[in-house]
Amino acid sequence: MSAPLRTIGVIGGSGIQNLGGAVLATHRVSTPWGAPSAAIEERRIGELRVLFLPRHGVGHTIPPHRVNYRANIDALVQLGTERIITASSVGSLQAELPPGTFVVPNQFLDFTHQRPTTFFDGGRVVHLGMADPFCPELTRHAVAAGQEMSILVRENATYVCIEGPRFSTRAESRFYRTLADIIGMTLVPEITLARERGLCYLCLATVTDFDVWQETPVQAEEVVRVMRANTDRALQLLGKMIPRLAPAPTCACAAALRGAEI
């Protein structure tokens, strides 16, 4: 009897609406935190069971500050997910990261202020270690997949997550630029919740604009134009990376809660 396939989750952000290929099943999952953003589509890619969830819902109807991040992560865990890869559109805070660049950050700053950020709201007191929040193994696979395709995937970057849905003021953008490399609205609390569930987590970020520090106001229509231009490349990169994940993880992400509970 063959062993069950390993399961990974892919959370698609702006522009990444599906991974292509046949949908083998559609899962509608209920959680203690309500419904996830949409039904979860199951596919098979290589030797993996892949679960796809559009972060902003079907048709991109849920703004970043209203995404039910707890329900999304919990639903994927209920379906057996061990690793999560997310695709996100971000702004660049540095001249050397122009629109069209792929970035896999290794650190983040949290400037959100009204989102539920944990599964542990009472009954258990957990102080989660987040010194190195992204999975190093997934990062290596993303960079290697990019090299195979002659696509530069920048690493060792810091992502600053803001509340949204508005873009930054000029003063805010100049301030964030002193702290981080890219800016977005969806990383937090998604990454924290994934760590609380012992999941490997990677953010594949695509730069769509230079934010407003470069003195040109960010226009949503321009972000969408660049995002659409990069969608095919992002899907190709995911398609190259995902089959590499068939072996069991060798990182320490699954042990994230060890020693964290008071």
Domain locations in the chain as residue ranges: 6-255
Token pair listed for 73: 């992560």
209 is catalytic: yes
Task: Convert the pLDDT of each residue in 82-126 to its tens digit.
Answer: 999 999 999 999 999 999 999 999 999 999 999 999 999 988 889
132 is catalytic: no
Residue 100 to residue 156: CA distance in whole angstroms: 17
Whether the per-residue pLDDT at 189 is higher than 60: the answer is yes
User: What is residue 179's predicted lDDT score, i.e. its pLDDT?
Assistant: 98
The residues near 23 (Cβ < 8 Å, ≥ 6 apart) are 41, 42, 43
DSSP string, 219-243: -HHHHHHHHHHHHHHHHHHHHHHGG
Half-sphere exposure of 96 (CA within 13 A, CB side): 7
CB 125 within 8 A of CB 262: yes
User: What is residue 3's predicted lDDT score, i.e. its pLDDT?
Assistant: 67
For residues 70 and 260, the model is more confident at 70
Whether the per-residue pLDDT at 32 is higher than 80: the answer is yes
| Nearest one of 164, 195, 169 to 66, comparing CA atoms | 164
Task: Convert the pLDDT of each residue in 190-225 to its tens digit.
Answer: 999 999 999 999 999 999 889 888 767 666 676 677
User: What is residue 2's predicted lDDT score, i.e. its pLDDT?
Assistant: 58
* Catalytic-labelled residue, pool 110, 181, 209, 232: 209
The residues near 175 (Cβ < 8 Å, ≥ 6 apart) are none
* Catalytic-labelled residue, pool 74, 110, 181, 211: 211
Residue 253 to residue 77: CA distance in whole angstroms: 14
Handedness of CA 157, 119, 86, 212 (dihedral sign): negative
User: What is residue 218's predicted lDDT score, i.e. its pLDDT?
Assistant: 66
- Superfamily of domain covering 6-255: Nucleoside phosphorylase domain (3.40.50.1580)
In terms of DSSP bridges, do strands 102-103 and 200-209 run parallel, antiparallel, or are they unpaired? Answer: antiparallel
Give the rounded distance of the alpha carbon of 113 from its chain centre: 19
Distance set, CA 102 to CA 91, 225, 234, 238 (Å):
11, 16, 8, 12
